[in-house]
């Protein structure tokens, strides 16, 4: 998955800011952080799927309204759900406060200790010091040193504890981000993960001349399944089809639930003939499956899928290759279903 970080140097950020602001002020949406995030990533050029969709939406002088801007943000930029982000943010702020407090404590103690050492130095340099007084000075300095050592030791322990919490937070954030890319019903990667992955393949095709293919898969007569057996069984069918699709691919191939009863398979370095073979194998696998209902022993067969296949062409936009695969899918549907069609 693509893991974006804003690591551009300040001068480049300033350029992106000016460009983003220019685009923002031309839209029908408000000028706010969400709008800025969308247009910053657009002008930075790193979020290819976002850029492709914005280019399509703004073609012929189109403008982004508030709803569309927020949708683009949620689809292409937002990585974790608000509740998880809020929890992680609260924990991180608490850790930062503890670290800041510990640092302040050390600084204060070090300042006091330094002042006392300076005072001792001044007393020792100003005149001859009698032995009893010298002993008192040494004793006080020793006790101050012990206190300073204890303070540093205590703060080190707290900082180590804070570091452990930071490591746990980092792992939690990674887990939440990973979950945000997974479809909760099927365990496959979701629409957002699909957009990220196809963006990676598009970059490889555009920059290194590599090719890839896409298969769009749809469950046949899914509404009839839902109406006849209920939505719980419909969910069971979606999960079963998702498992069959996952079993039908290998290696770096990507399987995701694109939405509803529709799935997408991305095949890196695969041409049309090979992609058709994968789609046909998946179609056969699903057609041969039998799914048992939850409340009785009835086994339901005749669950089938249709698929459309397209291979990326040199210079072709992301949206175009998907649309060609989708058009092939509809030809398969109109041609009788339970079949695979390739794009023109």
pLDDT score of 1 = 34
The helix (run of H) or strand (run of E) holding residue 296 is: none
Q: Which residue has the higher pLDDT, 110 or 17?
A: 17
pLDDT digits (tens, 9 = 90+) for 156-202: 676 666 666 666 666 665 565 666 678 888 889 888 888 888 888 88
Domain boundaries, the chain: 10-76, 82-179, 191-342
pLDDT band at 312, cuts 50/70/90?
Answer: very high
Catalytic residue among 66, 128, 178, 261: 261
Q: Is 282 left (phi over 0), alpha (psi -120 to 50) or beta?
A: alpha
The predicted model gives 291-313 an average pLDDT of 82
Question: Looking at the domain that runs over 191-342, which CATH code has it been given?
Answer: 3.30.70.270
Q: Are strands 262-268 and 212-219 parallel, antiparallel or unpaired?
A: antiparallel
287: CB partners within 8 A, 6+ apart: 303, 304, 305, 338
Rounded Cα distance between 333 and 331, Å, is 5
Closest listed residue to residue 268, CA positions, set 310, 230, 213, 225:
213
Rounded Cα distance between 160 and 128, Å, is 45
Rounded Cα distance between 250 and 246, Å, is 8
CATH fold of 82-179 reads: Helix Hairpins (1.10.287)
- 261 noted as active-site residue: yes
Evaluated on CA atoms 222, 276, 315, 75, the torsion sign reads: positive
């Amino acid at each position: 998955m693509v893991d974006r970080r804003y690591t551009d140097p300040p001068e480049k950020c300033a350029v992106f800011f000016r460009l983003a602001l220019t685009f923002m002020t031309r839209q029908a949406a408000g000028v706010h952080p969400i709008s800025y995030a969308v247009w910053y990533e657009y002008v930075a050029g790193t979020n290819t799927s976002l850029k492709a969709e914005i280019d399509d939406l703004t073609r012929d002088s189109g403008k982004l309204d508030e709803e569309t801007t927020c949708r683009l943000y949620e689809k292409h930029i937002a990585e974790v759900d608000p509740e998880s982000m809020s929890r992680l943010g609260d924990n991180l702020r608490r850790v930062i406060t503890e670290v800041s407090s510990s640092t302040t404590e050390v600084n204060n103690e070090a300042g006091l200790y330094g002042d006392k050492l300076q005072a001792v130095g001044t007393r020792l340099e100003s005149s001859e010091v009698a032995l009893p007084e010298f002993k008192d000075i040494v004793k006080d300095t020793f006790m101050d040193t012990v206190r300073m050592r204890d303070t540093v030791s205590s703060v080190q322990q707290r900082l180590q504890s804070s570091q452990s919490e930071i490591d746990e937070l980092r792992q939690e954030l990674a887990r939440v981000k990973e979950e945000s890319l997974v479809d909760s019903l099927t365990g496959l990667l979701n629409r957002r993960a699909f957009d990220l992955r196809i963006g990676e393949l598009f970059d490889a095709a555009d920059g290194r001349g590599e090719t890839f293919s896409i298969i769009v898969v749809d469950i046949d007569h899914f509404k009839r399944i839902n109406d006849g057996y209920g939505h719980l069984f419909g969910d069971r069918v979606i999960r079963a089809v998702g498992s069959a699709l996952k079993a039908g691919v290998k290696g770096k191939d990507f399987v995701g639930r694109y939405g509803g009863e529709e799935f997408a398979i991305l095949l890196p370095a695969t041409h049309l003939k090979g992609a058709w073979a994968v789609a046909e194998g998946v179609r056969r696998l699903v057609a041969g499956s039998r799914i048992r209902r939850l409340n009785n022993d009835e086994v339901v067969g005749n669950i089938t899928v249709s698929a459309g296949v397209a291979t990326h062409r040199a210079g072709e936009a992301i949206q175009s290759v998907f649309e060609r695969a989708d058009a092939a899918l509809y030809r398969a549907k109109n041609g009788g279903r339970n079949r695979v069609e390739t794009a023109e």
